[in-house]
């Protein structure tokens, strides 16, 4: 079993101050979170740089991805090493994820940039049921949505500053391998423990 922060931003997002090196150092030093998905806004550019830095440490894993802005709300695509063709709509991004063996996640559905109940109309692979930057009420609604849609729930810090990294995490029944992690999420082999300080759950 591995523990992963499945939503965070690096300096490849214009609104984040987390240097790639800082992310790698955080995972190396962390007692039990050894996996992170890099989900910058509308770009996958950070992944190669971060993967190279991480390659020196066999006990950590970086998962490629992006948080894609659509007119109806944000979608995280886990596993993406390239961006989907534009224009980005909910349907086109979900289709892209399915066709490229990636994982589509409805993120923070009940706060700003979230798509709310509209998510029910699309074949997502998972719902972000715990977002480190969302209030408890929004995370509760996201958990209800996952239940309603019969989808696995995942957690991500949505960190934009170093101190926000790894505040929440997803437990995944997989080893340190990107494909295994993606397949496990799709199969629902995931658990989201409440955060230690239950401020966001």
Residue nearest to Zn ion (CB): 158
Closer by beta carbon to Zn ion, 158 or else 164? 158
Q: Does 5 bind Zn ion (CB under 5 A)?
A: no
Beta bridge partners of 131: 156
Cβ atoms within 10 Å of 156's Cβ, excluding its own: 31
- The dihedrals phi and psi of 54, each to the nearest 5 degrees, come to -75, -20
* 158 near Zn ion (CB under 5 A): yes
Q: How far is the CB of 41 from Zn ion (least distance, A)?
A: 7
Q: How far is the CB of 150 from Zn ion (least distance, A)?
A: 24
Q: Of the two residues 67 and 125, which places its CB atom closer to Zn ion in the complex?
A: 67
Shortest distance, position 175 Cβ to Zn ion, whole Å: 26
Q: Are strands 73-78 and 103-106 parallel, antiparallel or unpaired?
A: antiparallel
Task: Measure the CA–CA gap between 157 and 82, rounded to whole angstroms.
Answer: 23
Task: Enumerate residues 36-75 that contact Zn ion by CB under 5 A.
Answer: 67
> What are the residues whose beta carbons fall under 8 Å from the beta carbon of 144, sequence distance 6 or more?
none
Q: How far is the CB of 176 from Zn ion (least distance, A)?
A: 24
Structure tokens at 54: 């991480």
Residues that bind Zn ion (CB under 5 A): 67, 158
């Amino acid at each position: 079993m591995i523990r992963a922060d499945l939503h965070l931003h690096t300096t490849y997002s214009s609104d984040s101050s987390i240097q790639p090196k800082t992310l790698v150092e955080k995972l190396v030093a962390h007692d039990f979170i050894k996996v992170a998905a890099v989900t910058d806004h509308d770009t996958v550019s950070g992944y190669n740089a971060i993967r190279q830095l991480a390659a020196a440490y066999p006990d950590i894993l970086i998962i490629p991805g992006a948080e894609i802005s659509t007119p109806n709300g944000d979608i995280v695509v886990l596993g993406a090493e390239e961006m989907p063709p534009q224009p980005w709509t909910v349907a086109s991004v979900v289709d892209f994820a399915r066709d490229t063996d990636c994982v589509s996640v409805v993120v923070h559905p009940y706060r700003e940039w979230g798509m709310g109940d509209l998510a029910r109309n699309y074949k997502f692979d998972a719902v972000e049921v715990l977002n480190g930057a969302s209030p408890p009420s929004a995370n509760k609604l996201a958990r209800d949505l996952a239940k309603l849609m019969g989808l696995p729930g995942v957690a991500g810090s949505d960190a934009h500053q170093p101190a926000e990294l790894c505040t929440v995490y997803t437990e995944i029944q997989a080893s340190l391998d990107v494909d295994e992690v993606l397949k496990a999420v799709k199969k629902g082999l995931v658990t989201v423990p409440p955060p230690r300080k239950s401020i966001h759950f």
